[in-house]
Amino acid sequence: MFLFFAASIYGDTADAWNIELIPSKVTKDEKIIDADFNDPYFFVVLTNKTNQSLKVWRQWCSWGYFTLSFTVKQEDGTSFTLERRNGAWTWNYPDETIVHPGKSFVMQVSIAKNSSGVFGGFPDKFRDGKVMLQAHFTIKEDDETKKHGVWTGSVSSTPENVVIRKSVYD
C-alpha cells in the first residue's frame, strides 16, 4: 500500500511538467553546449502541462538556486553530475514565480568556469566532446514550500546527445 501511494505521488508531480534542454547552438549534425566565455549559456525550459497554475522557486534565491542539476554520460559509459556551485547571498528571501497552464519557466545555464552561477562537477580527466546530457529539476517539500504554495517533486528531461565544447574545467 505505501509503495503504491509513493509511486502515484511521484507520477503525479512528474506529469505536471515537461522539461527540455535548449543547446547553445544546433547545426545540421550536432547540438552544442558551448562553454566559451563570449557565449556561455544554454537554457532549460520547464513547461506546465497541467490545467492549473503552479509556483516554482526563482533561481536567484537560495531556495531555487540548487533546484536544477544535470547527469552527463560520457561515450565510455562513465557518468557524473553537474550542480550549481555554492552561491554567496548578500540578501536572500524565498521568491517564487507562477507558471500558468501551457506556459514555461526558462532557466539560463552556464558551464563556463568564469560565469556567475556556473554549474560545476566535471572530473579532472574530462575532455570536450560528445556526451548524453539530462536535466533534472527538483524542489523538496519543506516549511517554505508549504507556506508559499510552491510545487514539490522532481522531473527529468529526455537524455540528449550533445557536444560540450571549449574550456569547461572546474
CA-based nearest residue to 33, from 168, 169, 170: 168
Q: Dmax over Cα atoms in the chain, in whole Å?
A: 53
The full set of domains in the chain, from first to last, is 2-165 (2.70.50)
Mean pLDDT, the chain, whole residue set: 85
Q: What is the pLDDT of residue 153?
A: 97
Cell numbers found for residue 79: 557518468
List the chain pLDDT tens, one digit each, 170 residues. Answer: 333 333 333 335 668 999 999 998 888 999 988 876 666 789 999 999 999 999 999 999 999 999 999 999 999 999 999 998 887 778 899 999 999 999 999 999 988 766 666 788 888 888 788 999 999 999 999 999 999 999 999 999 999 999 988 664 44
**What are 150's three cell numbers?**
510552491
pTM of the predicted model as reported, rounded to 2 decimal places: 0.86
3-state secondary structure of 8: helix
C-alpha cell at 103: 506556459
Spatial separation of the C-alpha atoms in residues 81 and 134, rounded to whole Å: 10
Of 108, 116, 107, 119, nearest in space to 56 by CA? 107
- Collect all residues with Cβ–Cβ distance below 8 Å to 116 and sequence separation of at least 6: none
Residue 113: C-alpha distances to residues 21, 35, 109, 134 (Å): 20, 8, 12, 20
Give the pLDDT score at 74.
Answer: 93
